[in-house]
Amino acid sequence: MTDLPGVELTLYPEDLPFFDGLERGEVVVTWCDHCDDHVWPPRSHCIRCYSPVAGSRTLAGTGEIYSYSVVHRGEGVFAKRPPYVLAYVSLDGGPTIMANVVADDPAALAVGARVRLRPRPAPATGRAGALFAVDPSA
Amino acid sequence: MSRAPLAYVAGIYEHPDRAIDDRSLASVYLEIVAGVLADAGLSISDIDGFHTSLNPGGMPAMADLLGLSGIRHFDGTDLGGATYVSSLGTAARAIQAGDASVVLVVMAGLPRRGLFNRAVPGPHAVYELAHGSTLVGQYALAAQRHMHEFGTTRADLAEIKVASAYHASFNPNAMLPKRVTLDEVLEQPPIAEPLHRMDCCVVSDGGGAFILVNEEVARSLGKPLVGVVAQAETTRNWDNGRLDLTHTGAIQTGAQAFAQAGMSPADVDYASIYDSFTITVLLTLEDLGFCEKGQGGRFVRDGALLSPSGVLPLNTDGGGLSNNHPDMRGGMIRTIEAVRQLRGQAHPELQVPSCEVAIVHGSGFSLGARAMSSTSILVRES
Taking contacts as CB-CB distances below 8 angstroms, the residues of chain B near A67 are 141-142, 144-145, 148, 245
pLDDT at A95: 97
Q: State pLDDT tens for residues A121-131.
A: 889 999 999 99
Residue type, position A64, single letter: E
B124 contact A CB<8A: yes
Closest Cα of chain B to A67: distance in Å?
Answer: 5
The Cα B158–Cα B297 span in angstroms is 10
List the one residue out of B81, B288, B194, B145 whose CA is nearest residue A71.
Answer: B194
pLDDT at B238: 87
Domains of chain B: 7-116+205-225 (3.40.47.10), 132-203+229-381 (3.40.47.10)
pLDDT at B369: 80
pLDDT at B368: 77
Whether this model's ipTM surpasses 0.95 comes out as yes
pLDDT at B121: 83
pLDDT at B288: 98
Query: Could you tell me which residues are beta bridge partners of residue B300?
Result: none
pLDDT at B260: 96
Residue type, position B293, single letter: K
Kindly give, in sequence order, each residue whose CB lies less than 8 Å from that of residue A137, ignoring residues fewer than 6 positions away: A114
Do residues A53 and A46 lie in contact, with contact meaning Cβ atoms separated by under 8 Å?
yes
Does A99 sit within 8 Å of B128, measured CB to CB?
no
Taking contacts as CB-CB distances below 8 angstroms, the residues of chain B near A88 are 141, 243, 245
Closest Cα of chain A to B42: distance in Å?
Answer: 45
Q: State pLDDT tens for residues A16-74.
A: 999 999 999 999 999 999 999 999 999 999 999 999 998 999 999 999 999 999 999 99
The Cα A131–Cα A101 span in angstroms is 6
Do residues A27 and A130 lie in contact, with contact meaning Cβ atoms separated by under 8 Å?
yes
List the one residue out of B161, B151, B215, B212 whose CA is nearest residue B184.
Answer: B161
Domains of chain A: 11-59 (no CATH), 60-138 (2.40.50.840)
pLDDT band at A1 (very low <50, low <70, confident <90, very high): very low
Closest Cα of chain A to B279: distance in Å?
Answer: 14
Do residues B330 and B201 lie in contact, with contact meaning Cβ atoms separated by under 8 Å?
yes
CB contacts < 8 A, A to B, total 117
Does B190 sit within 8 Å of A70, measured CB to CB?
yes
Do residues B372 and B81 lie in contact, with contact meaning Cβ atoms separated by under 8 Å?
yes
Whether the pLDDT of residue A2 is over 70: the answer is no
Q: In what order do the strands lie in the sheet with A37-38?
A: A37-38, A27-32, A55-59
Number of H helices, E strands in chain A: 1, 8
The Cα A58–Cα A54 span in angstroms is 14
Asked, as a colleague might, if the bond just before B56 is cis with ω within 30 of 0, I would say no
Taking contacts as CB-CB distances below 8 angstroms, the residues of chain A near B194 are 69
Closest Cα of chain A to B370: distance in Å?
Answer: 12
Q: What is the pLDDT along chain B (382 residues), one digit of tens a residue?
A: 468 999 999 999 999 999 999 999 999 999 999 999 999 999 999 999 999 999 888 899 999 999 999 899 999 999 999 999 999 999 999 999 999 999 999 999 999 988 888 888 888 899 999 999 999 999 999 999 999 999 999 999 999 999 999 999 999 999 999 999 999 999 999 999 999 999 999 999 999 999 999 999 999 999 999 999 999 999 998 889 999 999 999 999 999 999 999 999 999 999 999 999 999 999 999 999 999 999 999 999 999 999 999 999 999 999 999 999 998 899 999 999 999 999 999 999 999 999 999 999 999 988 878 899 999 999 999 7
pLDDT at B101: 98
